[in-house]
Structure formats: structure tokens, C-alpha cells
Structure 1
Amino acid sequence: MDLNIVFMGTPEFAVPSLDMLIAEGYNVVGVVTQPDKPQGRKKVLTPTPVKAAAERHGLPVFQPVKLRDPESVARLAKWKPDLIVTAAFGQILPKAVLDMPVRGCVNVHGSLLPKYRGGAPIQRSIINGESVTGVTLMFMAEGLDTGDMISRVEVPITDEDTSGTMFVKLSDAGSKLLQAEMPRLIAGETTAVPQDEAEASYARNLTREDEKIDWNRTSRELYNQIRGLVPFSGAFTMWDEQVFKVWAAANPNQIGASETGAKGQAEPGTVLQLNASGIEVQTGDGSLWLTEVQPAGKKAMKAADFGRGGTLKPGTVLR
């Protein structure tokens, strides 16, 4: 049965799922993605990764500002979708769209639902120090990631993973999960189970406040925070009343006690030393070695290289 499939997605996370549908010969009649946005210092209008992928495949693309607008719903309906597949689309589907396809709307979500519903599940799983996450394939409902679950797969988070590496791992896992279920979705033979609301948690979108380093926290918490913000925004602290970004730190679990500051030895945020290992900063329970930083107005660089410049001195307190 050659059903009409509409794919909805925006970031690189969604591209493997779209590529898989095309490679497997499914009848993707159109792609919906977010509008192009200005990127970089020159604010060049840039297509989303999903739009770029759709154009490579010669697929028609629709980029509504608001999918819930009646005009957008009407345009989508012209594709006569039998199944809608979404992956990190970035807009909530209105009931008119959810009710449109006979085989329903399914979503590739980057967490083990019902945990980490919402827009930033991958980043927050790392920030919160989780050792495992995964992907859930689910039917979509009117609530935020509340629909019945079709299947799930677990993916470990290593100590060296960042949001960037986990996006790649989970997008690949998601495409494989979708690939395995597609024959049943097409045939209308998919089974699903409700989510346990008692286990639900939410991963709200990240804000500027989530990027701010609080040096009173533990070294491990700060390490997780930095990893969870890379490669997108990075974490930041304030030095000399200017933003001082942190893009990487050494794993505190791999540093011996003799190499770290002792709790109470200095005020949290105090620069303890600068050497070939980077910049050591006092935390709430010891210290953290910063290994890649970005001073205001400059490019990101190795902390050891920055330290050799001599502008940041031991005893300086980062806020």
C-alpha cells in the first residue's frame, strides 16, 4: 500500500530519519520544517538541515511560521497525508493536523519517555548527570509528548559525551527505530502502550540562565553543565565584567585529589593556577580544570594557550 507520508523536522537530529524513509522507498510527498533563520555574525539567511536534505531529495518543502494557522493546515491537507512522521520539528501540532492522517502522527523523541518530555531532552539528560538515555517512537497527542509509546531503545551516555555527540548517536538510533516500525505503521498494525504519568518529567527549553556557571556547585555538576551545552551555546562565567565562555573542561573523576583544590581553600570561582593543563578554578567541593575557553570578542581557544597570555591571573575570582 503506497501511503502518502509527510515528514516534519528541523535540526540535524531529524535528517537520518528522513534519509532512511527515502532510502527505503517510502512515498514521502512533502516535508515541513521551520522557516529559514539568520545565522552567524553576518546574519545570513540559512535553511534548516531538514530543508537542505529535502531539497537534495527533490522533495517539496513547506515552512510555516505557525502550523496551527488555518491557512497552514489547509496547505498541509493538499498533500493528503496518510501518515505524518515528526522528529524535532519545533512546533506543537494542532488537533486539525493530528486528526488528518488515517495512520496517525508519530514522533521520534530523544528520550526514554515519559522522562524528559519537551524541547531539550538530550541537553538536560547530560546536564542532570544521567548515564543512559534513548529514543522513543510514539503516537502524537494534544499534550506535550504525552502520546502512547510504540517502541523505545536505550543509548548509554559516557562521561566524555556532549550534547553534540549524543545528538548524533540518538538521531541514528531514532532512524533505526523508525525503520523497524515502518512496515507495521504502513499496515496499520502498530501496537502502543500509554505512558505512566507518575514517571513523567519535563525538559524545558534552555535559557540564558541555564548557561550561567555557579561556581558554588560541585565540580561534577559543572562538568555536566558544560558538556550539556556543547556545541550549541557553551557555558559562561563573568570575568572583568565581560562574558567568558567555557567550551570544555577536564573530567573531574579522572583527576587525582592532589591535582584539585580543597573545599574551603579559596572562594568558589577563584582561579587557582594556569598551566599546560588549562585553568584550574575553585568550585563548591574542589576544583575544575577548564580546557577550552572563549574570552569576549575572541575565538574559542585552548585554555592552556589563553593562560600563556598572562591576562588572567591566579587569585582572580570569576563570577
Structure 2
Amino acid sequence: MGTPDFAVQVLEKLSQNKDWEIVAVVTQPDRPRSRGQRLSFSPVKEKALELGLNVLQPERVREEVFIRQLIKLRPDLIVVAAFGQILPEAVLSIPPHGCLNVHASLLPAYRGAAPIQRVIMEGGEKTGVSIMLMDKGLDTGDVLAQAEIPLSPGMNCGDLHDCLAQMGAELLQETIPRWLRGEIKPLAQERITERAPSYAAPLKKEDERICWANSARMIYNQIRALTPWPGAHTIYEGKPLKIWEAVPYQPASSEEAAASTAALASATTVSTKTKTASTLATTASTATAKGSSGAAPGTVVAIVKGQGFVVQTGEGKLLVKQVQPVGKKLISAQSFLNGYRLEVGYVFANI
């Protein structure tokens, strides 16, 4: 039982093992995903059809018709990976060996729908996967196995997703035979004392908005957590500008720092003498604090040739490297500078 790409590797790995037979694959119903409202298969359905497997797509797993279908299949074990619905007791009780869930966190930390995004967003230093014996709660079942990895500083959500999907598929392959032979004693999550329970809430629209009053490190983590989807954005000339790559910035030398300060001072002087630089007039109203450069959060304080532009945050500076204007393709920040004439002193909206 699964729906997105994360579950595809689990299904593929299970299908390669000749010690068991996959009697059915359960995934979410086809959904309209394009402007023409054409129905689109889930990634798991596409893989299941490719493998020639039987596919079930209940609108709700609580439906009696679906539960009767499951009972007729007489599964010994059900495997769940990012399915998208909570299983009722009527489903959990069907297989004699229970329902095993592949969860992308080290439980009890980051229970819920967005464990990969939240651990990056919160600046976590390590994460992993858990194989859990499901109960009727939200990711609260006993743990059968876990595998841990460190989070490398530059890793984004896409990188971590692919890594954990592979880890989860491999750990599941190792766990199932041992579980069926009775070699594993389930561990209640409340007995895992090295990690406090936490909840990885589903992403909301406000998670995508960059608040420049936050620290450079927080914004850096936000951008990584939302790459490659849905993306973090700021506002440029009244329209969303997605930022796909950025890093906390430190000038390479004191001369470089002095040059950026001089450029910012020059831009500010010019703006006070002209009425055309309307974007700079927002500085006073949007500032909630001033950074070490004296500029308000959201202010472009430097251009780094061949790399991008530097934005002042509430604490520290951020070097922006890749962006995507609304309705356009992803481009380098240098290309954006060339095409959109962004200059030192511009202030992005502090949303």
C-alpha cells in the first residue's frame, strides 16, 4: 500500500524477492493533475502496472467493499509506505503478521505526513527510517527496526528523499524474514528515550514564503526543505520569485566586505535623490530589524560576480544562486541579474 515516489522503491524491492508473492497493490485513486483535468496515475500504480500486478484504488480504505476485497486476498502481511490514509482496525486486523509501515524518520521523532521536509527545515543533524508495526494511531506503533544517517549540510529534500527511500526498501527486505521467523521483539515507542516524540505537520502555503527577518540559516534550511517541490519564494516586483539554491554568506575578504558596504551606501544615496527607485522606499516600512550591514532584512547588499546576489536577513546574509521567476524556467542568479537588472539596494518584500 503506497502512493508517491517514496513507495515505488519499496514496491520494486519487494517484487524482486521470490520468497513471497505480491497479491495486490493498493494506491490512491487516479487524480486530475493538469490544466486539462486529465486523470493521472500515482507513481506506485505506474510501477505496479509495469510489473503486471493487481491494483486496487479505494476512495477510502474504510469502505466495506474494499475491506471484503482484502479479506478475499488473504494476505499474510501488509506493507505500507506513504499511502496517504490512516488504516482502520478492520484493515489492520486482516493479515496474521500485521501491517508493517516504512516511515521516513527515526520514530518517535517526526511522526506524520512531512518528516523529510520538517527535519531539514528544523536544521536536524541526523535522521533515518523506521519499520513499524502499525496500530490505529498516527505513526505510534511499535518499532521493529531502524537505520540512521547523518544529514550532510548541502542535502535538500530531493536528495534525502531518494536516500531514505532506498534505505527503507533495503531495511524492509532485511526485516520481513526476521519478523516472520519470530526473531524480532517489537519496541514500544515510549521506550525509545533518546528521541522525544514530535509531529511533522503537512506542508502549508505559508511554509513556502520566505520571511527575511528570519536568520540566514533558517532560510537556507527552508529552501533546502522545499527543493525540488514546492519551492520557497519571495516577492520581486509584486510577483513570486522562487529561490531554489542559496547558502549562508561570508565575504571572502575584508576588501570584499568593504566593497559591498560601499555599494549599498551608494545605492541608498541614489535612492533618496530619485523617485524612480520605488522599491527602495519600502525599506523603512518592511524593516523589523537591521542586520550587521545596517540594511533591513530583504535588502540586496552585494553582487558576487559569477555566483549571484547577497540578501541581508534578520541574522546574517544569504547568497542566492538559483531562482525561478513566475511562469519561467529555473535560471542562475547571475542570469537573473543580467536579465532583470536587479541592483544592490533593492528590498524584497518581507512576507
- TM-score normalised by structure 2 residue count: 0.84
- How many percent identity over aligned positions? 46
Residue of 133, 155, 175 corresponding to 2:149? 155
Deviation track 1:189-236 (CA, whole Å, cap 9, x = no partner) reads 432110028720000110011111010111111111100000010101
- For residues 254 and 53 of structure 1, the distance between their equivalents in structure 2, rounded to whole angstroms, comes to 46
Q: Counterpart of 1:22 in structure 2: which amino acid?
A: S
- For residues 291 and 45 of structure 1, the distance between their equivalents in structure 2, rounded to whole angstroms, comes to 36
Q: Could you list the runs of 5+ residues in structure 1 that have no partner in the other structure?
A: 1-7
2:94 counterpart of 1:100: yes
User: Match of 2:167?
Assistant: 173
Could you say which structure has the higher helix fraction? 2
Q: Counterpart of 2:296 in structure 1: which amino acid?
A: E
- Shift in Å, 1:41: 4.9
User: Match of 1:87?
Assistant: 81
Change (3 A) 1:87 1:263: same
- For residues 229 and 123 of structure 1, the distance between their equivalents in structure 2, rounded to whole angstroms, comes to 7
Change (3 A) 1:175 1:119: same
User: Contact 2:110–2:199 at 8 Å: present in 1 too?
Assistant: yes
Residue pairs, 1:36-115, within 5 angstroms: 36-115=30-109
Deviation track 1:291-310 (CA, whole Å, cap 9, x = no partner) reads 11111221221111111114
Q: How many residues align?
A: 311
User: Match of 2:225?
Assistant: 228
User: Match of 2:298?
Assistant: 269
Between structure 1 and structure 2, the one with the greater Rg is: 2
Deviation track 1:232-283 (CA, whole Å, cap 9, x = no partner) reads 1010111222111111113x27764756775252110112234421121111
Residue of 99, 116, 127 corresponding to 2:121? 127
User: Match of 1:209?
Assistant: 206
User: Contact 2:249–2:317 at 8 Å: present in 1 too?
Assistant: no
- Shift in Å, 1:80: 1.6
Tell which deviates more after alignment, 205-214 or 65-74. 65-74
User: Match of 2:263?
Assistant: none
Tell which deviates more after alignment, 197-206 or 160-169. 197-206
- Shift in Å, 1:77: 2.2
- For residues 184 and 3 of structure 2, the distance between their equivalents in structure 1, rounded to whole angstroms, comes to 26
Deviation track 1:55-112 (CA, whole Å, cap 9, x = no partner) reads 1111011112211222222222222222100011111111110111110001000000
Residue pairs, 1:248-259, within 5 angstroms: 248-250=245-247, 252=248, 256=252, 258=254
User: Contact 1:103–1:188 at 8 Å: present in 2 too?
Assistant: no
User: Contact 1:114–1:201 at 8 Å: present in 2 too?
Assistant: yes
2:301 counterpart of 1:308: no
Give the secondary structure class of the aligned counterpart of 2:189.
coil
User: Match of 1:13?
Assistant: 6
- For residues 306 and 34 of structure 2, the distance between their equivalents in structure 1, rounded to whole angstroms, comes to 31
- Shift in Å, 1:188: 4.5
Change (3 A) 1:281 1:15: same
Give the secondary structure class of the aligned counterpart of 1:64.
coil
User: Contact 1:111–1:134 at 8 Å: present in 2 too?
Assistant: yes
- For residues 158 and 307 of structure 2, the distance between their equivalents in structure 1, rounded to whole angstroms, comes to 23
Residue of 329, 336, 344 corresponding to 1:299? 329
User: Contact 1:263–1:283 at 8 Å: present in 2 too?
Assistant: no
- For residues 57 and 186 of structure 1, the distance between their equivalents in structure 2, rounded to whole angstroms, comes to 25
User: Match of 2:16?
Assistant: 23
- TM-score normalised by structure 1 residue count: 0.92
Q: Counterpart of 2:237 in structure 1: which amino acid?
A: D
- For residues 279 and 212 of structure 1, the distance between their equivalents in structure 2, rounded to whole angstroms, comes to 19
User: Contact 2:48–2:54 at 8 Å: present in 1 too?
Assistant: yes
Change (3 A) 1:308 1:253: closer
Q: Could you list the runs of 5+ residues in structure 2 that have no partner in the other structure?
A: 261-290
Change (3 A) 1:43 1:308: farther
Change (3 A) 1:43 1:269: farther
2:311 counterpart of 1:317: no
- For residues 103 and 253 of structure 2, the distance between their equivalents in structure 1, rounded to whole angstroms, comes to 40
User: Contact 2:249–2:316 at 8 Å: present in 1 too?
Assistant: no
Change (3 A) 1:263 1:40: farther
